[in-house]
């Protein structure tokens, strides 16, 4: 209600080298990601919060794919970087030029690669899935915190799980972390308690000999940090994922109305039929009690105070 604010988003592509390999990918992550964007079709999603570098990663990926023989069209809101050899369309909601409105026209022109700035609604999600299933490589972003949630988000948007399974090829979740200033960082031997506090993966990396800590100098305005590095989580969708995703949930009915057979739940986890509360049995009849004076439910401490064997009738 009060106050004014200006947000300045600096999109300076000139100082930026759009090289995917320089974005801080680990070797295996890069291989998994590259394996996905080199396929001729499927959907590749980049997730992460606002300002986590999703667009930069997608642009770098496009730069990697871009060739004179590859037809690439993007729909963006806004167009952040101009890429040579790529058709870029700017979304204009006031003019009715939304993702959902532009995409059908774009798909009719049969591009090889489509970049959709963001999947925000059901229609866009459906179009993206259709495009991925009809022989296009679709790149897009979603607002989720990690890679597996992208799948759930698409299902929540109303996409059938089996369609998500067959269209999504890879999900990349991304965060940006500060990078230590190369001029002033200093080495130190870490204390064990510090490593445990930071949940250091001893089993994977062993004990580290040296770590680096920030100091601060003129080059980094005394912050100790300069630049940022991307951290990635790459989740390729494997046949096993697809199988799990296509499997109906417990109790779900198939189109024929039958309940598919699944592993039976143990008796104590089955939902109570007719839910009559502590005084009614599963069929809704009043529960018979051995002795109405005694507590009858575990919550009343029945099991601690009155072990069942005490009530067994002794042979006379
Ligand atoms: Zn410094």
**pLDDT tens-place values along the chain, 316 residues long:** 889 999 887 766 665 567 888 888 999 999 999 999 999 999 999 999 988 989 889 999 999 999 999 999 999 988 888 888 899 999 998 998 988 899 999 999 999 999 999 999 999 999 999 999 999 999 999 999 999 999 999 999 999 988 998 999 999 999 999 999 999 999 988 888 888 888 888 888 888 878 899 999 999 999 999 988 899 999 998 777 766 655 555 444 445 545 445 555 555 555 555 555 566 666 666 666 555 555 555 554 444 444 445 455 556 5
Cα-trace Rg, the chain: 28
Largest CA distance in the chain: 97
Distance between CA atoms of 251 and 234, rounded to whole angstroms? 32
**SS3 label, residue 97:** strand
**SS3 label, residue 122:** helix
Closest residue by Cα to residue 195 from 185, 180, 205: 205
Q: Give distance in angstroms: CA of 215 to centre of ligand 1.
A: 7
Q: Give distance in angstroms: CA of 310 to centre of ligand 1.
A: 75
Q: Give distance in angstroms: CA of 213 to centre of ligand 1.
A: 11
Q: Give distance in angstroms: CA of 100 to centre of ligand 1.
A: 47
Q: Give distance in angstroms: CA of 187 to centre of ligand 1.
A: 14
- Give the global pTM: 0.70
Q: Give distance in angstroms: CA of 229 to centre of ligand 1.
A: 16
Tokens of 121: 């609604």
User: Residue 53: which region, alpha, beta or left (left: phi > 0; alpha: psi -120 to 50)?
Assistant: left
Tokens of 250: 């417990």
| Residues within 5 Å of ion ligand 1, judged at the Cβ atom | 181, 183-184, 217, 219-220
Is-cis flag, bond preceding 297, omega within 30? Answer: no
Distance between CA atoms of 60 and 25, rounded to whole angstroms? 12
Q: Give distance in angstroms: CA of 220 to centre of ligand 1.
A: 4
């Amino acid at each position: 209600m009060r106050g004014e604010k200006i947000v300045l988003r600096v999109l300076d592509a000139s100082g930026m080298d759009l090289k995917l390999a320089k974005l801080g990918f680990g070797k295996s992550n890069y291989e998994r990601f590259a394996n996905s964007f080199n396929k001729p079709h499927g959907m590749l999603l980049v997730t992460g919060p606002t300002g986590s570098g999703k667009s930069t990663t997608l642009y770098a990926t496009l730069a990697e794919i871009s060739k004179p023989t590859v037809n690439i069209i993007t729909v963006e809101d806004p167009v952040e970087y101009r890429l040579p050899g790529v058709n870029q369309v700017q979304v204009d909601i006031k003019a009715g030029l939304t993702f959902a409105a532009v995409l059908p026209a774009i798909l009719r022109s049969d591009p090889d690669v489509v970049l959709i700035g963001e999947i925000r609604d059901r229609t866009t999600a459906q179009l993206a899935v259709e495009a991925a299933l009809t022989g296009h490589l679709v790149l897009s972003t979603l607002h989720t915190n990690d890679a597996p949630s992208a799948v759930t988000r698409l299902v929540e948007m109303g996409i059938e799980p089996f369609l998500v399974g067959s269209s999504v090829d890879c999900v990349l979740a991304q965060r940006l972390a500060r990078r230590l200033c190369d001029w002033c960082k200093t080495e130190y031997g870490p204390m064990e308690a510090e490593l445990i506090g930071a949940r250091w993966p001893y089993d994977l990396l062993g004990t580290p000999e040296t770590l680096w800590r920030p100091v601060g100098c003129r080059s980094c305005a005394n912050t100790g940090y300069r630049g940022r590095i991307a951290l990635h989580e790459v989740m390729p969708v494997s046949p096993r994922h697809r199988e799990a995703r296509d499997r109906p949930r417990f109790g779900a009915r198939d189109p024929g109305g039958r309940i598919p057979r699944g592993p039976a739940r143990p008796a104590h986890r089955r939902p109570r039929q007719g839910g009559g509360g502590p005084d009614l049995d599963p069929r809704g009849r009043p529960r018979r009690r051995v002795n109405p004076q005694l507590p009858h439910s575990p919550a009343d401490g029945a099991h601690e105070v009155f072990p069942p064997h005490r009530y067994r009738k002794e042979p006379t």
